[in-house]
């Protein structure tokens, strides 16, 4: 089987980015003050019932909120991790050499919080590069601290800017499925919206743009077992922005493709290899197989920061395994016999050949052209 559909690129002037009051209502996932070096994050485990922001006072807090999945989504994990390191450095009072070691070790601690989402590793590698280059020209501790804090802030600002370009490029490609301007039925999995980024989102951001531009018929949202990011978070965002959607269980995906005449499947990414193999929320591979069988275009919508230029294929991606408890409990009550053996990978790998296009802030490519983005 291969992917169905084609890749269309943005050319100057054919798309106007649109933002509305609905988008201003979008939920914000983090609050950061660069002057005061204070960071807090929305506790996503409490959404949709409560809106509680938790302070992140340094690396240990950043590690905890990422590990416990109080913040999640590959772009947001990177932003919270790097800003957390910046906040930590505001308290640093060692020598220049100690600072160099500290940045390396604390960066590695952060990377170990969730191994599949590559954005954080890419961001920490950037910061390590800054530290390494600084050593060649200076030994001023405060100066290096400021450089790292500014780089973390810049990462956050860039994440927002790249999101605008990503949505412009992706929306053009998705709208080209119906050149007559007809409305689209879109299927998606997990949460890839304002709660997974510090901006509008990736795949869910495109769904929002289609809605704003009058091109969305309906979003079909997979519940996304076992952590229910679809039902807890995506449904919450879509309801909040008054976007038409229906929620289905993951096992309804095949019949929903027929029942709702799905036009396109849009998903995010946690790590993309150079051959286009893509790690994303477990269930994504299933959707790609089903999309191919039903001749439905299947796009990965992702910033280039989620691509790992150091790996040739998905075989090299480490897939995070989550605790059994997530699968056999609901609201802390057991839903299977105690001690039930469980396999609970958080992600799966979709072969590049099953992906119609990888839509990014630097342009849209098929799986054979990922390298051209670098």
Q: Environment class of residue 322 by beta-carbon count within 10 Å: exposed (0-12), middle (13-18) or buried (19+)?
A: middle
Interface with ligand MRU, residue 280, by CB under 6 A: yes
Cα 339 to chain centroid distance, Å, stands at: 32
Q: Would you tell me the crossing angle of helices 74-89 and 141-175 to the nearest 10 degrees?
A: 170
C-alpha to C-alpha distance for 290 and 303, rounded to whole angstroms: 25
Task: Kindly name the residue from 270, 277, 348, 361 that is annotated as catalytic.
Answer: 270
Asked whether 278 and 307 are in contact (CB, 8 A), the reply is no
Give 104 or 250: the residue with its C-beta nearer to ligand MRU. Answer: 250
Tell me the CA end-to-end span of the chain in Å, nearest whole number: 28
Strands 357-360 and 363-365, bridge-based pairing: antiparallel
Residue in 346, 349, 354, 365 binding ligand MRU, rule: CB under 6 A: 346
Interface with ligand MRU, residue 314, by CB under 6 A: no
Footprint of ligand MRU on residues 121-180 (CB under 6 A)? none
Residue in 61, 134, 162, 270 binding ligand MRU, rule: CB under 6 A: 270
Q: x/- contact string, 320-339, with ligand MRU (CB under 6 A)?
A: --------------------
Which listed range, 66-74, 154-162, 248-256, 333-341, lies at the site for ligand MRU (CB under 6 A)? 66-74
Interface with ligand MRU, residue 81, by CB under 6 A: no
Cα 324 to chain centroid distance, Å, stands at: 23
Q: x/- contact string, 192-211, with ligand MRU (CB under 6 A)?
A: x---xx----x---------
Q: Cβ 114 to ligand MRU, closest distance in Å?
A: 7
Footprint of ligand MRU on residues 212-241 (CB under 6 A)? 229
Residue among 350, 327, 345 at smallest CA distance from 278: 350
Residue with tokens 């976007």: 243
Residue among 84, 37, 77, 79 at smallest CA distance from 56: 84
Q: Cβ 86 to ligand MRU, closest distance in Å?
A: 22
Residue in 80, 190, 218, 328 binding ligand MRU, rule: CB under 6 A: 190
C-alpha to C-alpha distance for 229 and 162, rounded to whole angstroms: 23
C-alpha to C-alpha distance for 199 and 303, rounded to whole angstroms: 12
Three-class secondary structure of residue 357 per DSSP: strand
Residue in 117, 207, 248, 288 binding ligand MRU, rule: CB under 6 A: 117
Give 75 or 84: the residue with its C-beta nearer to ligand MRU. Answer: 75
Interface with ligand MRU, residue 277, by CB under 6 A: no
Residue in 5, 58, 73, 115 binding ligand MRU, rule: CB under 6 A: 73
Interface with ligand MRU, residue 271, by CB under 6 A: no
Give 168 or 281: the residue with its C-beta nearer to ligand MRU. Answer: 281
Is 270 part of the annotated catalytic residue set? yes
Three-class secondary structure of residue 86 per DSSP: helix
Give 89 or 210: the residue with its C-beta nearer to ligand MRU. Answer: 210
Token code pair at residue 372:
């051209």
Sheet with 357-360, strands from edge to edge, namely 245-248, 216-222, 184-188, 264-267, 298-301, 357-360, 363-365
Q: Cβ 90 to ligand MRU, closest distance in Å?
A: 27
Q: Report the interface residues with ligand MRU, using CB under 6 A.
A: 72-75, 117, 190, 192, 196-197, 202, 229, 268-270, 280-281, 346
Q: Which active-site residues does the annotation give?
A: 270
């Amino acid at each position: 089987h291969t992917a169905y559909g084609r890749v269309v690129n943005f050319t100057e002037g054919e798309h106007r980015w649109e933002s509305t009051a609905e988008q201003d209502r979008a939920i914000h996932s983090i609050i950061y003050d660069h002057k005061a070096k204070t960071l807090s994050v929305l506790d996503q485990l409490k959404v949709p019932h409560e809106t509680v922001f938790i302070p992140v006072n340094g690396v240990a807090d950043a590690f905890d909120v990422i590990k416990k999945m109080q913040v999640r989504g590959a772009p947001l994990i990177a932003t919270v991790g790097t800003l957390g390191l910046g906040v930590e450095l505001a308290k640093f009072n060692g020598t220049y050499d100690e600072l160099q070691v500290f940045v390396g070790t604390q960066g590695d601690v952060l990377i170990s919080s969730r191994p599949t989402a590559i954005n954080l590793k890419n961001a920490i590698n950037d910061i390590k590069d800054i530290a390494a280059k600084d050593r060649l020209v200076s030994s001023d501790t405060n100066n290096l601290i400021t450089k790292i804090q500014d780089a973390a802030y810049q990462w956050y600002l860039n994440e927002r800017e790249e999101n605008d370009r990503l949505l412009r490029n992706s929306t053009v490609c998705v709208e080209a499925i119906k050149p007559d301007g007809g409305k689209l039925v879109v299927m998606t999995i997990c949460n890839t919206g304002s709660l997974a980024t510090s901006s509008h989102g990736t795949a869910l951001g495109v769904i929002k743009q289609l809605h704003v531009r009058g091109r969305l018929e309906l979003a079909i949202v997979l519940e996304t077992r076992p952590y229910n990011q679809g039902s807890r978070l995506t449904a919450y965002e879509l309801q909040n922005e008054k976007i038409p959607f229906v929620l289905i269980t993951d096992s309804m995906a095949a019949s929903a493709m027929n029942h709702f005449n799905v036009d396109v499947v849009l998903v995010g990414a946690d790590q993309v290899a150079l051959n286009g193999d893509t790690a994303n929320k477990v269930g994504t591979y299933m959707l790609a197989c089903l999309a191919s069988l039903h001749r439905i275009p299947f796009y990965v919508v992702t910033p280039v920061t989620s691509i790992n230029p150091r790996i040739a294929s998905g075989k090299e991606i480490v897939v995070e395994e989550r605790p059994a408890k997530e699968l056999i409990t609901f609201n802390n009550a057991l839903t299977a016999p105690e001690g039930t053996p469980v396999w609970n990978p958080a992600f799966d790998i979709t072969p590049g050949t099953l992906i119609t296009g990888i839509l990014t802030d630097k342009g849209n490519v098929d799986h054979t052209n990922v390298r051209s983005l670098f």
